[in-house]
Structure formats: structure tokens, C-alpha cells
Amino acid sequence: PEITKDSVCPVDAKEELLDECESIWKQMEECQSKLMLLGTETLLKSDAKLSLLMMRVKALTAEYNQWQKRSPELISTNPDVLLALGKEELQKVKNDLEMVLSTVQSKNKQLEEDLKREQQWHEEQEQILDTLNGIEEETKTQVEQLSKKRAFHEVLNKMLKLKIYKEELLNALGEFLEEHFPLPEKGGSTKKKVRFSYCFVHFINLILLVFQILINKSMTTPHEPYVTISDSFWPPYIELLLRYGIALRHPEDPNRIRLEAFH
């Protein structure tokens, strides 16, 4: 049943409880006076501390034994007194439990608020992480595109440089061929400088001459590898082959040449 604050102990029960308390108090005073009347033994200073400790041990041991033998006693057998004391004790327990409940509820509320804040912070961090991942992917894509464009431009630049270098080499080769291996003049009349393309073509013809005529002659008729020099063989080209030991003249006929036996 709910404990009401208006419940009070009857007057007779209060007086009876007070009388019992006074009688117990008188018994305590008598015990105290008996202890005071007991004589104290005179001890040396060196043994005083040890003796006091021993006396305290004996007193505590005796009190412990006494409490072990003693059974709980009711202060009063009056049911009204016991009911009042029980109600008071239960009221104290109720107040303590209400205080604990209030404290726990307050703490739970605080924990719920903290949990909501942590969840909100976690969601914000996840959104930030998603945003950063998206930015990272976009950055990677842009970097890859830029790297591809840069590589493409580098390749174009290299191709342009190679093309320029190739033209320079071809021009230098054309000038060399025009200077040292010009086309033969026809009918004694002077011709203008031939273009580089013609010089290059005739230089290629020199290569073909070596590999087609001389090599074929050496392979088909190794016993007779000499080729007769005709008007189609320009003298500067023949002189180049003879100068660098690619071809040899016939020892008896200077108009015939053969390929050097490199093997």
C-alpha cells in the first residue's frame, strides 16, 4: 500500500518507545561508569603502545564474539511502534529510490541527446566522405585526361621535331648528292640544279644497282661475276663503289667491274 505522509505514530506508542530508549541509555551509563572504575595498570613507556594494542585487540575480539552470540532484538514489541518505524523506513527507501530513478532518467535523457548528436555528426561525416570521394574521382578523371592530352601533345611535338630533323637530314643529303653525285649532263649543255627528290631517287638506284646487278651476277655466275659498265652507270657512282671497296675492276678490262667477295 502507498505510504501516506499523514500517517503518524500514536501517542502511547511514542511514550513507550521513549521509555525504552531511556532505559537502554541508563544501562549504557552504568556500563561506562563500571569501565571508569576499573584501575589502569602502570606500564613502562616502551611497553605502553604494545599493551594498548593488545588491549584493543582483546576488546574487539570480545565485542566480535558478543555480536556473534547475540541475536537481533526488537526495540519494541508494540505493533503500532513497529508499524510506524516500518513506514518511516519504507518512506526513506522510497525517497532514495525516487532520487535514484530521477538521476537515472536524467542520465538516460542526456545519453539520448548525446546519441542523437553523435548520429547527426556521423551522418555529416558520411556526407563529407561521399563528397570527398566524388571530388577525388573527378580529380582522377581530370588528371588522367590532362595526362593523356599532355602525352598526346608531347608525341605531336616529338613528331614535329622528328619531321623537321628528317627534312634537315634529307636536305643535307640532297645537297651532298647534288655536289658529289650530280646527274649527268646531256649534249654538253649545262643544266640547272636538280631537285633533291631526283638526287635521292638516283642514290637509291645506286643501292639497287649494287644489290640487283652485282649481287645477282655473283650469285648466278660465280665463275664470271664481272658486269660491263654501260652508259646508264654514272661515273661518279662507279667511282664511289670502287673507292670504298664495294666493287673491283677487271684486271685486264677497266670497263668491267664485279662485287667484292666479302665472304
Tens-place pLDDT, residues 210-249:
667 777 888 888 888 888 887 767 777 778 778 888 888 8
Residue 3 placed within a domain: no
Poorest-pLDDT segment among 117-121, 173-177, 203-207: 203-207
Poorest-pLDDT segment among 48-52, 173-177, 184-188: 184-188
CA 206 to CA 177: how far, in whole Å?
Answer: 12
Residue 186 placed within a domain: no
Residue 35 placed within a domain: no
How many folded domains does the chain comprise? 1
Who has greater pLDDT, 38 or 242?
242
Q: Which residue type does 123 have?
A: E
Residue 165: domain span? 75-181
pLDDT tens sequence across 62-82: 888 877 777 666 566 677 777
Residue 79 placed within a domain: yes
